[in-house]
Amino acid sequence: MLFPKPLKYGDRIRIVSPAGKVQSEFVSGAAKYFEKQGFLVEIGKHALSEYHKFAGTDVQRHQDLQDAMNDNSVAAILCARGGYGSMRIVDKLDWTGMINKPKFLIGFSDITTLHAAAFQHGIVSVHGCMAKDFHAGDTVAIHSLEQILLQNTSSIQWNTHEFNRDGSVEAPLVGGNLSMLYALRGTPYDLDWSGKILFMEDLCEELYHVDRIMQNFRLGGKFNQLAGLVVGQFTDMTDPEFGFSAYDIIRESVKDFSFPIAFNAPIGHVKKNHSLLHAGNYAFSVNPDDVLLKSLNQNE
């Protein structure tokens, strides 16, 4: 896998909006933060555009992202927000510039599509907070992102959960937003989970839909060769009449497997959203007292 080089102060960060439209203060807030830290920040030409729900037309959003991917002076690409829209442009992207000079591609939620595409091209990316999240950002989340950008490492430790399954494994880490992983099924961007640690999170989904997704994964054999499972935050789920929580649904769907599982990871649509190196190698240890997810040396 190709790893971007750690950032140095003075490096250039480009903010783009490949999905939903975003408020200007969200973008300017992130820009000011990174400028204060000593980085050069550019805002994509169409980053603040609006076209219905999107940050500009498909052509405009693709152009901004492609320009950033091609520009050798850019060291990191920060997505302004998620929402919806990355799937409409992912197949039009040329990854040659990213392969020749890997850059940090940062985002989560709808940006899961871009992480999946980066993985298909052998590039490690960053599942982490976006420009929007800096507006009222949590210092833990921001420092977690900075640890990756400056050191190419990440480490998360959290409390145990009653649904956990103890065990330890070292493997590549892939995943992201549950609904997006489901939407990518049957496409060239459907992630291969074999021998991987999978992480998942989601927001505002009906619980029966979560169950349908998990049953699809189970019936499709997606869990059969999984090395481990990290279950992040499932925020503001709806349809309480379904009778089971998101965690209940996930636990039941993987009950017949033996890989280690940890619930309640601080990953997803919450303030303390820790950043991860998507497709990086991780040590995953689930113990009776706590859980540790730690990136390994990039050359391991």
- Per residue in 114-168, pLDDT (tens digit) is 999 999 999 999 999 999 999 877 899 999 999 999 999 999 999 999 999 999 9
The string of pLDDT tens digits covering residues 19-36 is 999 999 999 999 999 999
Structure tokens at 59: 């052509």
Dihedral angle of Cα 277, 282, 286, 290, to the nearest 10 degrees: -60
Residue 20 and residue 147 in one domain: yes
Q: Are 247 and 202 in contact (CB under 8 A)?
A: no
Residue 176 and residue 280 in one domain: yes
Residue 229: is its pLDDT beyond 90?
yes
pLDDT (average), residues 37-49: 98
Q: How confident is the model at residue 300 (pLDDT cuts 50, 70, 90)?
A: very low
Q: How confident is the model at residue 298 (pLDDT cuts 50, 70, 90)?
A: low
Q: What is the pLDDT of residue 297?
A: 79
Q: What is the pLDDT of residue 135?
A: 81
Residue 136 and residue 160 in one domain: no
Q: Is residue 300 part of a domain?
A: no
Which residue, chain included where needed, has tokens 């330890």?
A: 168
Q: Is residue 57 part of a domain?
A: yes
Q: What is the pLDDT of residue 14?
A: 98
The string of pLDDT tens digits covering residues 158-205 is 999 999 999 999 999 999 999 999 999 999 999 999 999 999 999 999
pLDDT (average), residues 206-224: 98
Q: Residue 134 and residue 168: Cα distance in Å, rounded?
A: 34
Does the pTM exceed 0.85? yes
Domain limits for position 37: 12-151
Q: Is residue 1 part of a domain?
A: no
Residue 1 CB partners (closer than 8 Å, separation 6+): 122, 123, 124, 172, 279, 280
Q: Are 18 and 86 in contact (CB under 8 A)?
A: yes
Q: Are 77 and 103 in contact (CB under 8 A)?
A: yes
Q: What is the pLDDT of residue 240?
A: 85
Residue 161 and residue 282 in one domain: yes
pLDDT (average), residues 283-294: 97
Which of 151, 179, 205 is the last residue in one of the domains?
151
Q: Residue 287 and residue 292: Cα distance in Å, rounded?
A: 8
Q: Is residue 2 part of a domain?
A: no
Q: Residue 6 and residue 126: Cα distance in Å, rounded?
A: 12
